[in-house]
Structure 1
Amino acid sequence: MGRVVKGARFREERYALAVPEIAPPPAEFADADDLGGGDFYGFGAEHDAFLADAPLANAHAHAPAVDVEAVRAQAQGILDDAARNAEALLADAHDRARALIEDGAARADAIAQDARRRGHDEGFTQGRETADREMNDMLVTMRGLLEMARAERHKLIEAAEPELVKLALGIAERVLHQQIALDRGVVVEMAKVAIARLIERDTVTVRVNPADLERMREHRDELIAIGDIRNLRVLEDQRVDRGGVVVETDAGTIDARMSTQLDEARKVLHIEDDVIVEPAPAEVHVKNELTAAKAS
């Protein structure tokens, strides 16, 4: 039979639980609206230089504005979806972590109160240790949730990027074709760019689409003056698409057709064949000009 201890007093002690604060999301979880600037699409310096030299941008500042709001809305929609999904994952992870911490604190308090009610110091200590272990387990779970959210956010952005690239290239294609259709001066500017790259300018033949023949003949004298050409012939050729030119000399050929430039752009940007992009500005296809120049 146990002894009865008279005059015993129960002493209540409070113990602080080490519950870390949930830090705000790091800089890498910036708002999805910040993803659009800079070098987000990964094109790099090569892509920037590729687009910066566009002759059409300088030659057609007067071209009518092209309505691309619908396409731009599609691109923004993809970004918004990715941002919303990423933010939802982060918010869910934080909510679950907060709930785990609150639940752990409640459990620790309940265990401590139960131990105090029984008046056993040993039970109180064991309860505190149990609560600490549960809290550590919950913190590990919380960190795992946050890592999963970060990985999922990265996947969402990677999945959205190709669609954004395709939309941007689609916009460039439509702008190009509309400029060619609405501005007859496109072919003249392309001829100027090609002629400026000539090494041999004694006899020059410029081949254009039949629809551009009249426009080119109107500017024949201007082309002769710019290129200091002795003999210039302008011929129609069904193989040349609208807005493009093929310039021939004794030294070689410069293929400045729009289709050729689109193919070169695909190669530079590593784009699949089913995606049409804006032509490489002034990066005309030089076949034999440089070889002839070195040989001379």
Structure 2
Amino acid sequence: MLLRKDEVFYIDLPRKIEKEEKVQEEKTKENTSEEIQKIKEMREKILSEAQEEARKIIEGARKDAEEILSNAYNEAEALKLEAKKVLEEAKTMKDDFQKYILALKEKIQKQVNQRIEEILPELLDILKILFKKILEKEMDESAVERKLRSALSKLVGIKNVKIRINPEDAKKLDLSEVSKETLIPDPNVERGGVIVETDFGILDKTFSHQWELVEDIFEEVVGFEGYTERTEKEVE
């Protein structure tokens, strides 16, 4: 049985359509696969770029942190050195100040000692002259009588006693209670003085002897022998 062309066309049309659909489906699959691959590649690229950017950011942050830490460490070391330097300078200033104070103290003490040594002779001479004037003023007639009576009170029971006084003092004193053998006027005895001689020794109560004792005391206490001649003239 023979079919017409148009009949054959209609008979093969479903197959043709199915074939075309398959071809179209294959193309669609291919296109979809390509799109998916492109999307994957784009995603991987974006992810890679993001990872690289993140790595750069992290690396930059790490370098910045290291630089900050390094700068902070260097600044801390510089501050430590500066503080150490300040402490050393303060210690040096303290030591220098202490040395200055000690030197100043020694200098002042030296000047004071030097000044004392300069004025001590004159001061001692003045003191001696004043003391001598006081002793001379006390050497009156009553002083001679007091010395004489004091000596007699100590000579009770002692034999061979000789009492020497100045003749001028002997004229003015009431010496009736003293024997002539005991009391001897002696011009060598200065006015106001009394010298008692016994077998046990001599008791000298003259001004000269008392003044010698005073000078001995000055020399013993002060350790300096003054010369009164020049100062005595100035005072007079």
TM-score by length of 2: 0.50
Q: Which has the larger radius of gyration?
A: 2
Q: Please identify which structure carries the higher helix content.
A: 2
Which structure's relative contact order is higher, taking Cα pairs within 8 Å and 6+ residues apart?
A: 1
